[in-house]
Amino acid sequence: MYQGRDKMYEPAKSITHQHLLSIVNTELWRNPSGHVLRLLDAGCGNGDLLAYLARSLGHLNPHIQMEFYGFDVHDHGVQKEGFLDKTITALQTQLPSIPWVERIATITTTDPWPYPDDFFDVILSNQVLEHVADHSFFFAQTHRTLRRDGYAAHLFPLRHYFLEGHILLPLAHRIGDFDLLCGYITWMSRLGFGKYKGHHKSSGVSLAEYSERHADYIHYFTNYLSRTEILGLCKRHQLRVSFRYTREFYTSKLRALLGRPPRYKYATQRSALVDWISQLFFQRISSITLILEKRQTYQVIAPYVGAKH
């Protein structure tokens, strides 16, 4: 564990978890005094992120009452049947004081999220948006379930990045023609790139089967967005959009490589220009951080009664 000035901090299993924790911890100024902070992990998977956030945020901010929720879809085809039962069991074992049976939900990809309007203060996702089939629906549900002045933080790669992260082959996610994609995976694997060697060693899978299966994965189970598409979708669904905290994800990676302790609060006085330029650079490398806010301040001021026309 990392030693702070007066606290011990639990190390995260991944930089993505630590980064999302630091964002929430930085943005706690949004939480009204005495308000119960409700946080949703959209696409919660095995529950590791939820468990880490519940332990660490409670440790960092014992004066704030928090509720943690999560959901995932059961008809996507990637997760094994009944996987969320294991998630609930694991969460109950780690944090038995939280009623996880009531807090973890499973839905189909077309179901509305099972929460009331204006319910959450924070919505998070970790490497989820590149797998969402209908992004417009996802952002519509984000707007519906966020309370006014709430925000969402999503960590995921855009279409612009170079090395496709699931099969570790350059630009594989840009190839729409299935035969060409399958042939590309085969050719690159023969040259020693990507994950085929590891898969063959562990399972004995043939190159032809590996290439077809992973071409199917890219074709059916990934759906990358461009930066322009993100901006348009968020505007359509009345969400402010920025890419702040993207560079902090990479400085967190660097600090970890150098053996430095993580930062649990990021700078709030920021240069929008620096954030914009750094995002344009880092979107080519790996994940960006998308911040959405449900906030709108403009109002038409009614004319004074009796004003001259």
For residues 130 and 275, state if they share a domain: yes
The strand pairing partners of 288, in sequence order, are: 156
Residue 3: per-residue pLDDT? 46
For residues 140 and 10, state if they share a domain: yes
Q: What is the CATH number of the domain that holds 273?
A: 3.40.50.150
Residue 38: per-residue pLDDT? 97
For residues 152 and 117, state if they share a domain: yes
Within the chain, residue ranges assigned H as helices are: 15-26, 48-60, 83-94, 100-103, 135-145, 178-190, 196-203, 207-221, 227-236, 246-257, 272-282
Main-chain phi, psi angles of 29, to 5 degrees: -60, -20
**Cβ distance 295 to 248 under 8 Å?**
no
The strand pairing partners of 71, in sequence order, are: 42, 105
User: In Å, what is the CA distance from 198 to each residue of 114, 184, 203, 275?
Assistant: 39, 18, 9, 37
Residues of the chain with pLDDT under 70: 1-9, 77-78, 302-309
- 255 dihedral zone (left: phi>0; alpha: psi -120 to 50; beta): alpha
Q: Tell me, yes or no, whether 304 lies in a domain.
A: no
Residue 6: per-residue pLDDT? 40
pTM of the model: 0.91
For residues 77 and 113, state if they share a domain: yes
Which residue range forms the structural domain that includes residue 177? Answer: 167-221
Residue 10: per-residue pLDDT? 76
Main-chain phi, psi angles of 165, to 5 degrees: -80, -20
For residues 174 and 112, state if they share a domain: no
User: In Å, what is the CA distance from 241 to each residue of 103, 106, 182, 228, 276?
Assistant: 28, 28, 36, 11, 12
Residue type, 134: D
For residues 64 and 135, state if they share a domain: yes
Residue 307: per-residue pLDDT? 53
Closest CA to 292 of 230, 250, 223: 230
Q: Tell me, yes or no, whether 29 lies in a domain.
A: yes
Q: How far apart are CA 163 and CA 172, in angstroms?
A: 8
The residue to which tokens 């911040």 are assigned: 291
For residues 206 and 157, state if they share a domain: no
Q: Tell me, yes or no, whether 189 lies in a domain.
A: yes
Q: How far apart are CA 45 and CA 67, in angstroms?
A: 18
Query: How many domains does the chain fold into?
Result: 2
| CB neighbour list of residue 16: distance below 8 Å, 6 or more residues apart | 49, 126, 127, 155, 249, 287
Main-chain phi, psi angles of 94, to 5 degrees: -80, -40
For residues 99 and 197, state if they share a domain: no
Q: Tell me, yes or no, whether 265 lies in a domain.
A: yes
Q: Tell me, yes or no, whether 301 lies in a domain.
A: no
Residue type, 303: P
Tokens coding 101: 């049976």
For residues 10 and 142, state if they share a domain: yes
For residues 23 and 53, state if they share a domain: yes
